[in-house]
Structure 1
């Protein structure tokens, strides 16, 4: 409820303002929203105010994009398991597409979304489905209903996994890159023995094919030792002045880990 209240308050402060003017200077919009003498006690860089600012600012960008006729899709416009709700939204916002799927927990939900004509882009999550067996089923369903797959990624190890899914989709299922993107976030890859790599090969930035067998999800022993719950060194020393004597900074992410850690 506090977050909903702060979203409502923040949105009300922008009522009546010109969308083009806000899109021309988003920094000014942010400063305006964070310059409330009372709400600043709750933020703006933490807690409910931080989250509500994200919601309101995203709405501003969404309005600007819609007004310019530019958005490719809107993402998760309603509850992730509301199949008919997604279908209703898709009809209402066409020709703008609707994308969802990162919270879909099995192939049956995807089948229902496809059959109901509820989505234009399938954002399956490799960590939420039952690994590649179920992912392959979703890829085949998406191809059957002509829905491009744009896998969700960003969490620990998700980028390492989705690169394999996108390659599999292109090579063995769809054979098409039209309207397909693969999400990427540039952090935490240093914890994996075969971290994913994104590079510009001359035709724009893209994932570089892995050169090691497997799913690219094996973590470095040093990372497991440090962050293992509940007995990892990080949890034992976090928030205290006590040093972690065996904890050395991990090297930058690279394609190949030392032989001792493979």
Structure 2
């Protein structure tokens, strides 16, 4: 029985100075400080049940997301959890269709990041209430109940609710066996930790060798700032990992369309599986052009959902509107048989998205062909329930919730700008 009224919402600006070590650096984001707007929902339940949600940012601008979360707070405050999940579709639409806030969205940008943070906290709360990890809550859910969490507005020309129901019904076959497979072997992952653009060659070599020793077979390289440097780095990495390992490229939206085709063609000899985010995420036709041009080279395109413009679909646990919107994308991907390879990393993205990948395999896609989930090996120590990686695979979380809860001491130290870490850094910058 879902119970509890949401009595308080608080949100904190939590930042980690990852830019100091070049961690997370790419062609577009040269000095990111991995950060999060961290939402806590408190309830009036006697045991003090709380829900925790995050949305990922890169430092500056986190304060803007915090403001947006506070602007959305009235939609959730004093609401009964039963009422929210009992009409989750209606609640989702209420959040994304606020008559005034929608003007600075809709369903993208700062407002949508804030929406994800709030909804991630709601899902964490629901899963904890049920005593299940989020992936298991979804796997055990009746198909009609699951679909009631999705807002089908704007997507019925691509996927109707009845089509989605048929997909979930088919997914019931063999579900128990796939769940056991996940518990035994986990969900395959790839690593981006070795080849951030700001890393020296020595660091790159060391991290690649360590990853190989740990059993990693899939590696992603950041590219896009300098072609000759990319050629040199890709040559180095391909030499280190050998011809049989999988290599992917990520340009982080750096190029225009002709530049993307020319640049990736120059890197084709290193046999990348895909080029990720080659151009603006809003340019659907541009992605289709790039995709068509790279077919003869055997290189796919990976990014967000783009009709007939990609070979690998990437979901995001924070840029999309939490679990609700990701469910619709997973179902659309299944309809068109596009493999889902989520990107993660950041602050908590690995913790969140593992649940979505595991659910997708068990209940929707029923396939691991050409599928893998990104993994980045930093900042997990700040979470109460960090990811568990074994044999280069995500092992299914066993703790109740969405794995979003951070350690209070970490939050206190890294709050911006009053936390201990930032007080020291800002004082040093002034001097």
Tell me if the contact between 2:231 and 2:267 (Cα under 8 Å) persists in the aligned partners. no
Q: Which residues of 2 match residues 122-141 of structure 1 at below 5 A? A: 122-141=313-332
The within-5 A match list for 1:139-158 is 139-158=330-349
Matched, 1:93 2:294: yes
In the alignment, which of 362, 370, 373 is matched to residue 182 of structure 1?
373
Q: Could you list the runs of 5+ residues in structure 1 that have no partner in the other structure? A: 5-25, 31-49, 102-109, 242-262
Which secondary structure does the structure 1 equivalent of 2:363 belong to?
helix
CA distance in 1, matches of 2:315, 2:390: 23
1:5-154 to structure 2, matched below 5 A, reads: 52-53=225-226, 56-59=228-231, 61=234, 66-67=268-269, 70-94=271-295, 95-101=298-304, 110=305, 113-114=306-307, 117-154=308-345
Query: Displacement, 1:237?
Result: 2.1
Structure 2 residues without counterparts, runs of 5 or longer: 1-26, 29-199, 205-222, 235-263
Alpha-carbon distance between aligned partners in 2 of 1:85 and 1:76, rounded to the nearest angstrom: 11
How far does residue 173 in structure 1 lie from its aligned partner after superposition?
0.7
Distance 1:153 1:56, change over 3 A: farther
Shift of 1:65: 5.3
Rounded to whole Å, the distance in 1 between the matches of 2:283 and 2:369 is: 27
How far does residue 228 in structure 1 lie from its aligned partner after superposition? 1.4
Structure (1 or 2) with the greater strand fraction? 2
* Distance in 2 separating the partners of 1:86 and 1:52: 19
**2:401 is equivalent to residue 229 of structure 1:** no
CA RMSD of aligned residues (A): 2.8
CA contact (8 A) 2:303 2:314 kept: yes
Once residues 228 and 222 of structure 1 are traced to their aligned partners in structure 2, the CA distance between those partners, rounded to angstroms, is: 10
Deviation at 1:59, TM superposition (A): 4.7
Alpha-carbon distance in 2 for matches of 1:98, 1:158: 21
SS in 1 for 2:291: helix
Q: Size of the alignment, in residue pairs?
A: 180
Per-residue deviation, 1:197: 1.4
2:395 to 193, 197, 208: 208
Q: What's the CA shift for 1:130?
A: 0.7
In structure 2, what is the equivalent of residue 260 of structure 1?
A: none
How big is each residue's C-alpha offset from its partner over 1:144-194, in whole Å with a ceiling of 9 and x where there is no partner?
A: 111111001110000101111110110111010000011001110000000
- What TM-score do you get using the length of structure 2 for normalisation? 0.39
Equivalent position SS for 1:238: helix
2:173 is equivalent to residue 173 of structure 1: no
Name the counterpart of 2:119. Answer: none
Is the CA contact 2:352–2:403 (under 8 Å) kept in the aligned structure 1?
yes
